[in-house]
Amino acid sequence: MNRSDLFDALAERYPHLTASDAEAAVKTLLEAMTESLVAGHRIEIRGFGSFVVSKRAARQARNPRTGERVAVPPKRVAHFKPGKALREAVDRHERSTA
């Protein structure tokens, strides 16, 4: 599912919302989440999961084409950890289709 699919699903589920209202709601939510992660905060959505920002240390890597060593600077990356309810729902679906 991509962003436009999410807009459509929201507008379909809630007929009183126009497509542009659904799009605005999704964009507002994603912008708020992005701003929170950029600020270094943790986001927890009960039953769904949590988003956290982790720090990766600087390291030495290798260019796969040339084999040359390359310095990779430290960086911050976002990680998602699914909640128990989401893990169980995905697992139930996997077992029912297998």
Binned at pLDDT 50, 70 and 90, residue 98 comes out as low
> 58: burial class by Cβ within 10 Å (0-12, 13-18, 19+)?
exposed
**6-63: pLDDT as tens digits:** 988 998 999 998 889 999 999 999 999 999 999 999 999 998 999 999 999 999 999 9
**Residue 42 in 3-state DSSP?**
coil
Residue for token pair 């911050």: 76
Please report, for residues 51, 52, 60, the alpha-carbon distance to residue 38 in angstroms, rounded to integers and kept in the order given.
11, 10, 25
Please report, for residues 13, 23, 83, 94, the alpha-carbon distance to residue 18 in angstroms, rounded to integers and kept in the order given.
11, 9, 31, 34
Q: Are 74 and 58 in contact (CB under 8 A)?
A: yes
Rounded to whole angstroms, the Cα distance separating 36 from 82 reads 18
pTM of the model: 0.77
